[in-house]
Amino acid sequence: MPNKNRIWIVLCGIVLLAASRNAAAQEPALTWLGHAAFEYTTRAGKVILIDPWITNPKAPKNVSFKHVDVILVTHGHSDHVGEAFDLAKKYNAPLVASYELTLIAGKHGVKNVLPLNQSGSVDVAGVTVTAVEAVHSSGYSEGDTVIYAGAPLGFIIQEYGSATLYHAGDTGVFEDMGIIGRLYQPQIALLPIGGTFTMKPSEAAVAAGFIMAKTVIPMHYGTFPALTGTPAEFQKELILKHSLAHMRELKPGVEVKIKDLM
């Protein structure tokens, strides 16, 4: 084949590929479902659920999904596993969690699992999910026994052409959040602020400094009386600490476009 023809074939291929990418692309969006639960719709239109306790006291009524493409669960506590096992079965969506928690999910009939552990990544639903450290505990309660559920995790979600998200899970503040920031450079960080079981606002503001995300979104507050931290306090602490991060308070059930969070 003459070289000129080859060049044309390659050029047409590139144009078609670019066109198909754009045709499929949409504006990624995030919906807080209360507590630590989020629905993230990717640029490719895939739906990712994170810690889907969709019956939490702050969740919108009758949460439903057209489709679910992957479910991420940070650790074994019931306020994070929530309805994950039922949702994974209903939508045949792969469940991403610690190895031990995927074994527990398997005992509950979840067949499609993607186990990982800290610094491990998995490519799923067009994104790369990486597990990162969280300073917390992780047991799965069944009746009056607690089953070991592996290490508690945070998740980094990366998609080509879109912002990188960091869901910190339940965690205290730790200086290696700076390594998470340097390694993955998340533009948006979802941070627990309720206190008692996680960071409170003063610590979440220090965490924001380590992570260096442009936008920080408070979560894991106000669900129970014990979770006393508020977005107003978090905002005050960010200002006191001269943070460069913008805090954005989400309303449960209200979808926001990622570009409007930047």
Place of tokens 């699992």: 113
Q: Does 100 bind Mn ion (CB under 5 A)?
A: no
Q: How far is the CB of 170 from Mn ion (least distance, A)?
A: 4
Place of tokens 């969709």: 54
SS3 at position 58: coil
215 contacts 189 by C-beta, under 8 angstroms? yes
Identity of the residue, 159 or 170, whose beta carbon is nearer to Ni ion in the bound complex: 170
Helices 201-211 and 231-240 meet at what angle, rounded to 10? 50
Interface with Ni ion (CB under 5 A): 77, 170
Nearest to 174 by CA among 158, 198, 195, 146: 198
Nearer to Mn ion by C-beta: 92 or 141? 141
Residue nearer to Ni ion on the CB measure, 138 or 235: 138
| CB-CB contact of 48 with 29 (8 Å) | no
By CB under 5 A, tell whether 203 contacts Mn ion. no
Of 18-26, 72-80, 91-99, 224-232, which part binds Mn ion (CB under 5 A)?
Answer: 72-80
Kindly state the smallest distance separating residue 216's Cβ from Ni ion, in Å.
20
Which of Mn ion, Ni ion, none does residue 39 bind (CB under 5 to 8 Å by kind)? none
Binding partner selected for residue 69 from Mn ion, Ni ion, none, CB under the kind-specific 5 to 8 Å limit: none
Tokens of 240: 């006191």
Query: Is-contact 258 162, C-beta < 8 A?
Result: yes
CB 170 within 8 A of CB 134: yes
Neighbours of 148 (CB within 10 A): 13
Look up residue 102 and give its two tokens: 């995927």
Identify the bridge partners of residue 130 per DSSP, sorted by sequence position. 121, 156
Q: Is 233 in the site for Mn ion (CB under 5 A)?
A: no
Q: Which stretch binds Mn ion (CB under 5 A): 5-13, 74-82, 123-131, 236-244?
A: 74-82
- The minimum distance between CB 75 and Ni ion, in angstroms, equals 6
Q: What is the number of other CB atoms lying within 10 angstroms of the CB of residue 230? A: 17
Residue 197 DSSP label: S
- Decide which of Mn ion, Ni ion, none touches 233; Cβ closer than 5 to 8 Å per partner kind: none
Nearer to Ni ion, 187 or 228 (CB): 228
Nearest to 247 by CA among 220, 221, 214: 214
79 binds Mn ion (CB under 5 A): yes
Q: Does 170 bind Mn ion (CB under 5 A)?
A: yes
Task: CB nearer to Mn ion: give 193 or 261.
Answer: 193
Residues numbered 238-257 forming contacts with Mn ion, rule: CB under 5 A: none
Residue 51 binds to Mn ion (criterion: CB under 5 A): no
Which region among 21-29, 115-123, 168-176, 202-210 touches Mn ion (by CB under 5 A)? 168-176
Q: Is residue 159 at the binding interface for Mn ion, with CB under 5 A as the rule?
A: no
Q: How far apart are CA 213 and CA 243, in angstroms?
A: 10
Give the interface with Mn ion as residue ranges (CB under 5 A).
79, 170
